[in-house]
Structure 1
Amino acid sequence: MRFRLWRSSRQLWVMIGFTSLCATILLLYGFGFAAYTLLHPTAGPKHSAAAPARTKPAAVLADAGEIKITAIGDSLTKGTGDPSGDGYVKQLMRGLQEETGKPVRLVNNLGIGGQQTAQLEQRLHSNGYQYALKQANLIVLTIGGNDLFRAAREAMNGKTDSEQALTAIHKRLPDGLAHMKAILHTIRQTNPEAEVVYMGLYNPFYDIPRLKNGSLQVSEWNSEVYKLLQADDHMLMVPVYDLFEDRIGSYLSSDHFHPNHDGYGKMAERIIQSLSVEGA
């Protein structure tokens, strides 16, 4: 009798342990899936849930009679790769005016081809940048790609091998992120109220097998910058990684690095979607 009771108890505890293990695995899977979805949203049509959603329109833009944009950063902000010269900035202006019915004015586009985070950090203190930042109620920013991908471009052109390139990308992350933190701090010190939108990085070499793993560094960069932005209610990251990974041949220009006109258009749509300016 005692043996049967002990055996039954043992079976019961085994069943409880197995059930607990399954529940734990399910919980971890759900958490991992939620985190991945947040950092790598699926591509979707305009006004889908692909970009980070806000429950209310961006307050600064909702109350403004005019949307005033200052664009800073690298060649993506400059619009390199778009033969029309529109880039994402001019397409964003047209889209915002259409969505809000408000006048949209470009204070200045200070995008510089090849610019890295350390260079932008220094330039933000110049009089021209300070003036442009103070005049805006919407600041859009692309930076970081040149910090990470210079080595990858050399590998693609045969100047170095892929393993060296991926190692170099990983080594550049800490310095780039430190400069990124300083950039965001300076922007907010200069203009305490503007909405600040940072365009997340994408891997333009995703379709090249030996450089595909560069996506791991891109994901790490985006994740760390996302954490920096979360400290400010009026700063956000717009993810575009999935756009270029899913349709890299459709949205990249012939240089295999910069977006083409359609790619920039998708970036502009994501910004509008993320700001949730409908009805503002």
Structure 2
Amino acid sequence: MNKAFIKIISFVSVISALMCLVGLGWVLKDQWTEAKTISPPKQATEAPEMTTNHQLQIAALGDSLTRGTGDPEGKGYVGYLIDGLEKKANKKFLLTNSAIKGQTSKQLLSQIKQTEIQRQIKQADFILLTIGGNDLFQGIVKSS
């Protein structure tokens, strides 16, 4: 093979590896620093009034996926799901997103015992839940 071709492939490989390491470092920094300082969830955002008597309520619980962390608009899958439901049903929904970035299953069990969270769950027509990613990630970090 041509030596210039091998040098180009080597250069691209080194750059790709460095980019992967930077990305991994970014994720680990995020997990190790911000995940330990769990902050209370933001207040529920109220949707405009509906023309019917009953406004559909959605309670969202879980970790950063449910919270919308990393999404440029901060909506995450919950926000996009509600947008789609509102368009299809031609109704507005009331969302209470109590998800917490970095939350584990054990922390979610503690959160569910809170009076306000129990009230939100009882009033909800739909409950969205995503949990377990941080449990898996902590298992990988501890075994390393």
- TM tier relative to shorter chain: 0.5 to 0.7
Answer yes or no: is the 8 Å Cα contact 1:93–1:105 preserved in 2. no
Kindly provide the amino acid, as one letter, of the partner of residue 107 in structure 2: Q
Q: How far is 1:101 from its partner?
A: 1.6
SS in 2 for 1:81: coil
Alignment of 1:217-228 (within 5 A): none
Q: Give the distance between the partners of 2:134 and 2:92, measured in 1 at CA.
A: 33
Alignment of 1:187-202 (within 5 A): none
Q: Residue 104 in 1 paired to residue 123 in 2?
A: no
SS in 1 for 2:122: helix
SS in 2 for 1:80: coil
Q: Give the distance between the partners of 1:90 and 1:145, measured in 2 at CA.
A: 19
* Correspondence for 1:123: 111
Q: Residue 150 in 1 paired to residue 138 in 2?
A: yes
Answer yes or no: is the 8 Å Cα contact 1:65–1:102 preserved in 2. no
Kindly provide the amino acid, as one letter, of the partner of residue 125 in structure 2: N
Q: How far is 1:65 from its partner?
A: 4.5
Kindly provide the amino acid, as one letter, of the partner of residue 69 in structure 1: I
Q: Give the distance between the partners of 2:83 and 2:102, measured in 1 at CA.
A: 26
Q: Give the distance between the partners of 2:84 and 2:75, measured in 1 at CA.
A: 12
Q: How far is 1:67 from its partner?
A: 2.2
Kindly provide the amino acid, as one letter, of the partner of residue 123 in structure 1: Q
* Correspondence for 2:55: 66
Q: How far is 1:83 from its partner?
A: 1.7
Kindly provide the amino acid, as one letter, of the partner of residue 87 in structure 2: E
- Mark the structure with the bigger radius of gyration: 1
* Correspondence for 1:88: 77
Kindly provide the amino acid, as one letter, of the partner of residue 138 in structure 1: F
Q: Give the distance between the partners of 2:101 and 2:125, measured in 1 at CA.
A: 24
Q: Give the distance between the partners of 2:117 and 2:54, measured in 1 at CA.
A: 23
Q: Give the distance between the partners of 1:103 and 1:111, measured in 2 at CA.
A: 21
1:32-91 Cα offsets, whole Å, 9 max, x none, are xxxxxxxxxxxxxxxxxxxxxxxxxxxxxxxx9432101001111111111211111111
- Point out 4+ residue stretches in structure 1 off by more than 6 angstroms: none
Kindly provide the amino acid, as one letter, of the partner of residue 111 in structure 1: A
SS in 2 for 1:111: coil
The total of aligned residue pairs comes to 92
1:144-173 Cα offsets, whole Å, 9 max, x none, are 111111243x4xxxxx8xxx45xxxxxxxx
Kindly provide the amino acid, as one letter, of the partner of residue 106 in structure 2: A
Q: How far is 1:103 from its partner?
A: 2.1
Alignment of 1:158-173 (within 5 A): 164-165=143-144
Gap runs ≥5 in structure 2: 1-52
Gap runs ≥5 in structure 1: 1-63, 155-159, 166-280
